Chains A and B, each alone.
Chain A
Amino acid sequence: NAGVMQNPRHLVRRRGQEARLRCSPMKGHSHVYWYRQLPEEGLKFMVYLQKENIIDESGMPKERFSAEFPKEGPSILRIQQVVRGDSAAYFCASSPLRTSGRGRTDTQYFGPGTRLTVL
């Protein structure tokens, strides 16, 4: 059972270009989360998506950033007109969102991340 997959693992862009980061959740998972880790900082939540729906985008920058999770295919985090401050590691996580006898448990499992460098 493959884990969460992200590609590319490393991405280099020049200022003003677009960056597209892809995330394929674990098999059977229909919930995807994106987090960003700036150099020497902790992970920060960006957005939570279910298939074809954005559930919570409270951590997304208001401009240039967008995310989608189509019915078919991977989730995409898109950054338009990148700036040097966008250089970071971007992690995707997925969860099954199930209910157990202990209440709902929806453990998130993370991918290896995409390291974006903006020149």
Chain B
Amino acid sequence: DAKTTQPTSMDCAEGRAANLPCNHSTISGNEYVYWYRQIHSQGPQYIIHGLKNNETNEMASLIITEDRKSSTLILPHATLRDTAVYYCIVRVATGNAGNMLTFGGGTRLMVKP
């Protein structure tokens, strides 16, 4: 699976949008971009995923650049409970090989009052 690069940490004011970038310049055509987060020591929580089109759900929006080399996760109105480590993961979507999720260091988002 392609490697991802994320900033180590970010701050965001409560109520403002949090924009978390991710670089995945070696992504292949059959690889999806997944986002998870881990709040404190809880189990990772799935947020959203996409292939090449922008995606939106009740939690967040995912913007993928046209060349697919980078993406941005957007939390439209961050709350204190969004403080967590956010992981951007690129993953092959076919066959049994590559079923694992490879977690990097992620971005530690701190939402401040």
User: Which of chain A's residues have a CB closer than 8 A to the CB of B100?
Assistant: 33, 45, 48, 56, 58-59
Q: Which 6 A-B residue pairs are closest in the complex by CB-CB distance?
A: A45-B100, A110-B43, A43-B103, A42-B103, A110-B44, A112-B43
A103 touches B51 (CB 8 A): yes
Q: Give the one of A35, A43, A45, A112 with max B CB within 10 A.
A: A43
Which positions in B face A, CB cutoff 8 Å?
30, 32, 34, 36, 38, 41-46, 49, 51, 93-94, 96-97, 99-106
Q: Can you give 12 A-B contacts (C-beta < 8 A)?
A: A31-B99, A33-B100, A42-B104, A43-B44, A43-B103, A48-B100, A93-B101, A103-B30, A103-B94, A104-B93, A105-B32, A110-B44
Q: How far is the CA of A106 from the CA of B91 in the complex (A)?
A: 11
Interface residues contributed by chain A, number (CB under 8 Å) = 29
Q: Which of A50-83 contact B (CB under 8 A)?
A: 55-56, 58-59
User: Which of chain B's residues have a CB closer than 8 A to the CB of A33?
Assistant: 99-101
Query: How distant is B58 from chain A, measured CB to nearest CB, in Å?
Result: 15
B42 touches A113 (CB 8 A): yes
Taking A56-B100, A110-B36 as given, write out 14 further A-B residue pairs in contact, using a Cβ cutoff of 8 Å, ordered by the A residue number. Answer: A33-B101, A35-B101, A42-B103, A42-B104, A44-B103, A45-B100, A45-B101, A93-B44, A102-B51, A103-B93, A106-B93, A107-B34, A111-B43, A112-B42
**Of A89, A104, A105, A115, which is within 8 A of B49 by CB?**
A105
Q: How far is the CA of A106 from the CA of B34 in the complex (A)?
A: 11
